[in-house]
């Protein structure tokens, strides 16, 4: 679970630091954290397929930081949080579309190699990635709606952001165990 928390640390920092009218420092911190995390993970020998979110985070936050520090107005305005979640949704849905769920590489670093070619292993990761993709998509839409209709609803935004990470993270922890238990029960 700490691996997922580390993966999303730049996004969490961006959400905490950015305001609806100033995403410069949130974007800069996100870019630096994403670059540092990706570099550290590569030095530890983590394969690129386990760093899909980290690599795309460097791109997103790098571009956003450049835009934020060069544009007269905040490039995403009040919609920064919504756009960042939709970026993650795009990455997650895209990883499913190319049949390489972003969770697959991460899961391979936590499971024995003999499991990696098992179709059930792939299926579990496809489901987990779909849950994350759905959470990112819904969260982005809800945050956009809040930015448009209730821009000062800080408590609602915080609740949505926390739930958007906590619920899929909880699912990620529990679902593989439930599938494994069901598979073992059927094997008896």
Domain map (residue ranges) of the chain: 2-187
pTM: 0.83
Closest listed residue to residue 30, CA positions, set 3, 1, 64: 64
Percent of the chain with pLDDT over 70: 94
Residue-wise pLDDT tens digits, 78-137: 788 888 899 999 999 999 999 999 999 888 888 899 999 999 999 999 999 999 999 999
* Higher pLDDT among residues 184 and 22, named by residue: 184
Cα–Cα dist 38/27, whole Å: 16
Cα–Cα dist 78/81, whole Å: 8
Q: At what angle do helices 52-70 and 24-43 cross, to 10 degrees?
A: 150
Residue-wise pLDDT tens digits, 18-38: 776 677 888 899 999 999 999
User: Which residues have CB under 8 Å from 67's CB, separation 6+?
Assistant: 27, 75
Looking at the predicted structure, is the pLDDT value of residue 1 above 60?
Answer: no
What string of H, E and C letters represents the secondary structure of 64-102? HHHHHHHCCCCCCHHHHHHHHHHHHHHHHHHHHHCCCCH
For the record, the structure tokens of 12 come out as 């969490």
**Distances from the Cα of 32 to the Cα of 1, 13, 26, 35, 56, angstroms:** 22, 11, 10, 5, 13
């Amino acid at each position: 679970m700490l691996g997922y928390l580390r993966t999303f640390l730049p996004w969490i920092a961006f959400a905490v630091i950015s305001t609806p009218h100033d995403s410069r420092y949130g974007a800069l911190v996100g870019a630096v954290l994403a670059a540092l995390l990706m570099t550290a993970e590569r030095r530890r020998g983590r394969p690129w397929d386990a760093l899909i979110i980290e690599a795309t985070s460097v791109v997103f936050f790098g571009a956003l930081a450049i835009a934020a520090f060069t544009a007269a107005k905040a490039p995403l305005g009040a919609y920064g949080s919504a756009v960042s979640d939709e970026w993650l949704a795009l990455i997650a849905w895209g990883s499913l579309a190319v049949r390489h769920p972003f969770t697959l590489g991460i899961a391979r670093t936590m499971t024995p190699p003999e499991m990696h070619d098992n179709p059930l292993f792939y299926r579990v990761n496809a489901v987990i990635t779909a849950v994350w993709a759905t959470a990112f998509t819904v969260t982005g839409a809800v945050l956009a709606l809040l930015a448009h209709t209730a821009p000062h609803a800080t408590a609602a935004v915080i609740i949505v952001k926390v739930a958007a990470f906590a619920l899929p993270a909880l699912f990620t922890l529990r679902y593989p165990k439930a599938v494994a238990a069901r598979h073992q029960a059927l094997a008896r």
